[in-house]
Amino acid sequence: MENINLQEFIGAVGGSFLLGDPHTAVRVISIDTRTLRRGDFYFAIKGPQFDGHDFLKQAIEKQAGGLVISRKDIDLGNPFPAFPAMIQVNDTTQALGDIAAFYRKKWSIPVVGITGSNGKTTTKEMLASILRQSAPTLSTVGNLNNLIGVPLTLLQLSSNHRYAVVEMGSSLFGEIKKLAAISRPTIGIITNIGYTHLENFINLEGVLAGKKALLDALPEEGCAVINADDLHLSKLTTQLHCAVRTFSLYKGADAYAEYIQLWPDKPSFELNIQGKKIKILMPVYGKFNIYNALAAAAAAGWMGIDIETIKKGLEHFISPGMRMETHTLKNGALVINDAYNANPSSIKESVQGMITAFPERPKIVVLGDMLELGTDAAKYHAKLGEFLAMQPLEKIFLFGPLMEAAANRLDPSLVRHFMHPGELEIELKKTLASDVVVLFKGSRGMHLEEIFRRVTGE
C-alpha cells in the first residue's frame, strides 16, 4: 500500500480508534498471523471455520502495527511493552473491502474484472501474460476471487503498475455486485454462463443475473467483453451502456478464430482482431481454451495492445495448476489433471477436449461428484451419464455418491463406480497401459488431485 495514513484508514473502514500510536503508518495488510510481519495491520477476519480474533495475541507477539477487530469481548491484557494501534469496526470483512475500495480510487489505471462459470482463472492468466509483455501488471494470485481475495489483490497496487486484472467469483447472488463496487473495473469480461452454484442461483437465468452485475458496474467509457457464442451472453450486446467487444469461434465477432487445429499437437488457430491476422500456438489443450484466449485477446485489443504482443503473451502463458495439466508417465501413458473444479458444462468440455486432442489413444475418464448443484444434482449427474454413453471412451471410473446416478445410465461393462479412494487407486493402476490417456476431473471437494498424485507418483 502507498500513501495512506492512519486517519484516512480509520475513515475508510468506518472504525473507532481505541488505543495505540495515532501516527502509525499503514503499509501492509494481513489476515494471517503465520505470514504477518512486523508493522503489518492485522484484520481479524471471521469465517465459517475460524475466527481471526483467536490469533490476536500472536499478531501482537509478531509486532503488528495495528489490529482491526469487530468483537467487543476481547481481553488481551497488557503483557507487552508497546501495544499496536487498535481499530474497532462492525464487520472486519466489510472493513477489508472498504479500505480496498478507498485505495482503488487512488489509481487511474485500466482495471479488468473477469467472471464467468468456467475459464475465469485461465483467462485471467492469459490476459495478464499479454499485458506483462508491455508493462507491469497486477493480477489475482491463484483464485483469490472472493470478498477477501479481491480486496487483498487490490491492496497490492503500486505506482509501478500500469494494468490490473482481477478475477471475480461468486456462489451467492449479489457477490459480483459487491466485488465490482470494490474494484471499480473499467473493462469487464464474462467468459460464459454454465451450470454452477445452482444451490443458490437455481438456474442459468440466475447465474446470468449474478454475473451481469460486473457489466452493469462498468463506466460509460468502459468496455464489456462478451462471448458471442454463448446464447445467454450474446443477448446482452445491445443492452449495455458502454462499448462492447465480442469474441467467437466464428466470423463476425471483434476477435475470432479460424483454421483451428486441435490435433496432433496442442491447439493452434489463426487469431483475427483489429483487421489483422496471426497464428497462435496454444500451450494448453482444449477447444475451450481457445475461447479463453479469444476473450483475453479481445480485451487486450481494446486496451491498445498490438497483435504481435497478444501472440507473444498467449504463447508464453503458463497454465494454472490442475487445469488440463498433462503428465507423461515413464511407461508412456498420458495423464491429464483437470481436477481443480467441475460442473456439467466444464466436464463435457474437458472430455470432448481430450477426445479431440488424442483420437488415436484409448481414452479413460476419472470423474468425481459435481457439487453445489442444488436439489437437481441427481438429474445433472444422470444427464452426464447419458453424455458419457455417447463418447468413444475405453473405460469410465466414477467416484462419489452423486456419480451413482451417472453410473446407472451407462453400460455396466464400461463403467466402474467407487465410493472409496483406495479402491479407485488400485483399479486405476491396473489400467495405466503405455498407450492410454486418462482425464481426472471433479469438484474441488472431491480431492481427485490426491488420487492423481498417488496413482502417478507425481
Condensed to tens digits (0 to 9), the pLDDT of residues 11-28 reads 999 999 988 888 888 999
Domain ranges of the chain: 6-90, 107-315, 325-456
**At 173, which helix (H) or strand (E)?**
none
pLDDT at 263 > cutoff 90? no
Strand extents, DSSP E, 116-231: 137-139, 163-167, 187-190, 223-227
Superfamily of domain 107-315: Mur-like, catalytic domain (3.40.1190.10)
Give residue 206's pLDDT. 93
pLDDT at residue 82, rounded to an integer = 67
Query: In 10 A of CB 97, how many CB atoms?
Result: 22
Residue 72 grid coordinates? 467487543
Instruction: State residue 22's pLDDT score.
Output: 83
* 325-456, CATH topology level: Protein-Tyrosine Phosphatase; Chain A (3.90.190)
Residue (of 240, 258, 149) closest to 189 by Cα position: 240
Name the residue type at position 329.
L
- Please give the pLDDT value at position 78: 64
CB 197 within 8 A of CB 118: no
Which residue type sits at 137? T
The length of the chain, given as a count of residues: 458
Mean pLDDT of the chain: 94
For 6-90, give the CATH class: alpha beta
Closest alpha carbon to 456 in 277, 272, 333: 333
pLDDT at 298 over 60: yes
What is the reported pLDDT for 143? 80
Whether the CB-CB separation of 60 and 85 falls below 8 Å is answered with no
Q: How confident is the model at residue 46 (pLDDT cuts 50, 70, 90)?
A: very high
Asked if the model's pLDDT at residue 458 lies above 80, the reply is no
pTM: 0.93
Q: SS3 for 360?
A: coil
Q: What is the pLDDT of residues 145-202, one digit of tens each?
A: 999 999 999 999 999 999 999 999 998 899 999 999 999 999 999 999 998 888 888 8
Kindly tell me if the per-residue pLDDT of 130 is higher than 80.
yes
pLDDT grade for 47, boundaries at 50, 70 and 90 = confident
DSSP bridge pairs for 289: none
Residue 79, pLDDT > 70, answer no
Percent of the chain with pLDDT over 70: 98
Whether pLDDT at 80 is above 60:
no
Asked if the model's pLDDT at residue 302 lies above 70, the reply is yes
Could you tell me where the DSSP H helices lie in 30-139? 56-61, 92-104, 120-132
Q: What is the pLDDT of residue 111?
A: 98
